[in-house]
Amino acid sequence: MERRIEIEKQVLSENDKVALQLRQEFADRRVLALNLVSSPGSGKTSLLVQTLSALKAEFGIAVVAGDVQTENDAQRLRETGGGQIRAIETRGACHLDALMMEKALVEIDLDDIDILFIENVGNLVCPSSYDLGEEMKVVIISTTEGDDKPLKYPGMFRRSSLMITNKIDMIEMCDFDLEKVRSNAVTVNNSLEFINVSCRTGEGLDLWYDWLRKQVASKKATVCDKSG
């Protein structure tokens, strides 16, 4: 197994080099890049559909949507008419990597956008190891998945900056405790922020939009400070 670990390290190191270039490019173009990670079916695409519809007049937005197979998510996003949407089919790979991102970004005009959402493959393990040059990871968990997930998949929650709990309209039907999931998450990452939403009813989405506005504003302020 030792040789495998060595090769894995080399691949990650190649990935990190490209991710570093991407991060610099996002900084130069003042683009807020967010890497959205979650289990399959927790609602990443639903969240983005709502977000594109709500904020398309306010911000320039692009989405790179990764899936093992199909372009279903990208198609749903395109129907909002709300941004530049690119699909990556990983063809079996369990995560996006920086090289896939670099390729997808060729077709996106970064000068036209304020926010780049990267919708990663639905997987709570592997995507946590691959830096895509993003500013932050946002982990989405849904009330139907159980409040123990931060303890069971600590790597993902440790590397994320914001945790969005989706499907709070279904919480009564699930054995899911909002306080417990938060305390479990804090155990692995005590600087994590939290927002609770329902993409179905719209509850809480304003908090998410405000969080995005704050991040975009802070990014532009940083750039102004640097140039001033």
Nearer to a second copy, 68 or 192 (CB): 68
Rounded to 5 degrees, φ, ψ at 30 are 55, 40
Angle at 148 between CA 144 and CA 150, to 5 degrees: 105
The residue with tokens 């691949």 is 11
Strand partners, 67: 89
Binding to a second copy in span 53-112, by CB under 8 A: 67-70, 72, 92-94
Residue from 41, 103, 218, 221 touching a second copy (CB under 8 A): that is 41
Residue from 27, 110, 170, 178 touching a second copy (CB under 8 A): that is 170
Nearer to a second copy, 10 or 218 (CB): 10
What count of Cα atoms within 13 Å lies in the side-chain half-sphere of residue 179?
0
Q: Smallest Cα–Cα separation from 87: which of 130, 57, 123, 117?
A: 117
Q: Tokens in use for 134?
A: 């993003």
Residue from 80, 120, 142, 189 touching a second copy (CB under 8 A): that is 142
Residue from 148, 177, 193, 210 touching a second copy (CB under 8 A): that is 148
Told to check if 9 binds a second copy by CB under 8 A, we report no
The residue with tokens 């691959």 is 130
The residue with tokens 């899936």 is 67
CA distance 83 to 189: 32
CB of 68 to a second copy, least distance (A): 5
For residues 77 and 46, is the Cβ–Cβ distance under 8 A? no
CB of 124 to a second copy, least distance (A): 5
For residues 79 and 46, is the Cβ–Cβ distance under 8 A? no
Q: Segment near a second copy (CB under 8 A), from 20-28, 38-46, 56-64, 102-110? A: 38-46
CB atoms < 10 A from the CB of 1, how many?
6
Q: Segment near a second copy (CB under 8 A), from 78-86, 103-111, 137-145, 203-211? A: 137-145
CB of 92 to a second copy, least distance (A): 6
Q: Segment near a second copy (CB under 8 A), from 23-31, 47-55, 147-155, 207-215? A: 147-155
CB atoms < 10 A from the CB of 111, how many?
10
Nearer to a second copy, 126 or 136 (CB): 126
**Residues that bind a second copy in the complex, under the rule CB under 8 A:** 1, 3-4, 7-8, 10-11, 39-41, 67-70, 72, 92-94, 121-126, 142, 144-146, 148-149, 151-155, 167, 169-170, 173, 200
